[in-house]
Amino acid sequence: MLAEDYMDLALRLAKSVDGQTSPNPPVGAVVVKDGRIIGMGAHLKAGTAHAEVHALEMAGDEAMGSDLYVTLEPCSHFGKTPPCADLVVEKGIKKVWIATTDPNPLVAGKGIEKMRKAGIEVEVGIGGQEAKNLYNVFFHYIQTKTPYVTIKTAITADGKTATFTGSSKWITSEQARLDVHKLRHQNDAILVGINTILKDNPLLTTRLPQGGKNPIRIVLDTHLRIPEDVHVVADSSVKTIIVCGKNASNEKEALLQNRNNLTIMRQNTETIHIPTLLEELGQLGMMTLFVEGGAEVNASFLKEQAFQKLIVYTAPKLVGGKTSPGPFGGEGMELMESALPLQFTNVEMIGPDIKITAILKKG
């Protein structure tokens, strides 16, 4: 086995816990001695042991003089857990291979410095590109303190999200809809507008055959029009936040507020200012946000360029209709030259549908 192979295993361990370690990054670690794997581990939940701790615990005394492969620079600060860099030194690791450094100001480079000072050889970079892709969410969050936003939409081949009568079930296949639930599992919060609630009465829960984490449900409802009998209000098993403007009815707020697991987030502006909301959600420790529309909500995120990733599921169906809705409402760009530049990063078939992943181009 080559160093790349051991780092590949550490990366697979890290990817396997992606979505469940928020607001921490998903990290994987592997301990190798004389060509044998003697320990491996992943960070399973924020506030619990880091990947290196699990892997070194499994290695026991054999860790002395071994190699450690870890997908992120070992931490060197006392957060909710003691610093991994100190543990690495204490265990007498010979060489540490790191896929990428950690931009968290608490860590950045300090972990590496501590280990090198203790005479440990440290090599940074193998698996680096793959690690950076895995950590683009965490790096965004740690640097902006706002959630990494993914907008998801499902459209027909002629770009419609419903027929002109508003009928929309279903555009995409079972397989594509299952894929959406994996994305829900991987996100800390899911956000829709009041129109989607009134039109679809969605559950917004994660329904996967093997179960999955339910994201916090967030509804943008400026005037608190939400009925009390819709799923997201009536079903109190999932934490739900309703965001409203400063002039929304206080009576309605009082009515909703005393339901358990339901919070009203009143803004101090008449309408909901997305960048401000994102800062508030970041403060609440939400590292990822999944925006499932509808068209007006998507339009407000587009206008503010307040998203990082776009996922479009395109179904092999045509509905036509000059008034059939598309995925982004609002006024839209006047000129094609003002189009928001994206970069396609992945195209794949999911059953009969095409799943296009794009990121917002920086700058």
Ligand X SMILES: Nc1c(N[C@@H]2O[C@H](COP(=O)(O)O)[C@@H](O)[C@H]2O)[nH]c(=O)[nH]c1=O
Positions touching Zn ion (CB under 5 A) are 50, 75, 84
Q: Does 31 engage in binding with ligand X (CB under 6 A)?
A: no
Strands, E assignment, the chain: 28-33, 36-42, 67-72, 95-100, 121-124, 148-156, 189-193, 216-220, 240-244, 262-266, 288-291, 309-315, 342-350, 353-360
Taking the least distance from each CB to ligand AI9, the nearer of 89 and 149 is 149
Calculate the alpha carbon distances from 280 to 247, 258, 267, 273 in Å. Answer: 19, 21, 10, 11
What b/e readout covers 326-359, taking b as 16+ CB neighbours within 10 angstroms?
A: bbbbeeeeeeeeeeeeeeeeeeeebbebbbebbb
- CA distance linking residue 142 with residue 139, whole number of Å: 5
| Least distance (Å) between residue 75 CB and Zn ion | 3
- CA distance linking residue 85 with residue 25, whole number of Å: 16
First-to-last C-alpha distance (Å) of the chain: 41
- CA distance linking residue 230 with residue 305, whole number of Å: 30
Q: Does 245 engage in binding with ligand X (CB under 6 A)?
A: no
- CA distance linking residue 164 with residue 78, whole number of Å: 57
Q: Which of 9, 10, 31, 51 binds ligand X (CB under 6 A)?
A: 51
Q: Which of 7, 40, 63, 75 binds ligand X (CB under 6 A)?
A: 75
Helix extents (H) in the chain = 3-16, 51-59, 84-90, 110-117, 128-144, 174-186, 194-200, 231-234, 250-257, 274-283, 295-303
| Least distance (Å) between residue 109 CB and ligand AI9 | 42
| Least distance (Å) between residue 104 CB and ligand X | 3
* Residues near ligand AI9 (CB under 6 A): 154, 168-172, 176-177, 180, 192, 196, 200, 202-204, 292-293, 313
Q: Which of 9, 32, 38, 74 binds ligand X (CB under 6 A)?
A: 74
- CA distance linking residue 221 with residue 325, whole number of Å: 20
Query: Pattern of binders to ligand X over 96-135, x per CB under 6 A?
Result: ------x-x--x----------------------------
| Least distance (Å) between residue 56 CB and ligand X | 11
Taking the least distance from each CB to ligand X, the nearer of 104 and 298 is 104
The answer to whether residue 52 is catalytic is: yes
| Least distance (Å) between residue 208 CB and ligand X | 24
User: Which does residue 114 touch among ligand X, ligand AI9, Zn ion, none (CB within 5 to 8 A, set by kind)?
Assistant: none
Taking the least distance from each CB to ligand AI9, the nearer of 169 and 322 is 169
- CA distance linking residue 294 with residue 340, whole number of Å: 19
Taking the least distance from each CB to ligand X, the nearer of 70 and 278 is 70
Taking the least distance from each CB to ligand X, the nearer of 22 and 172 is 22
Q: Which residues are catalytic?
A: 52
Contacts to ligand X by CB under 6 A: 24-25, 27, 43, 46, 50-52, 72, 74-75, 79-81, 84, 102, 104, 107
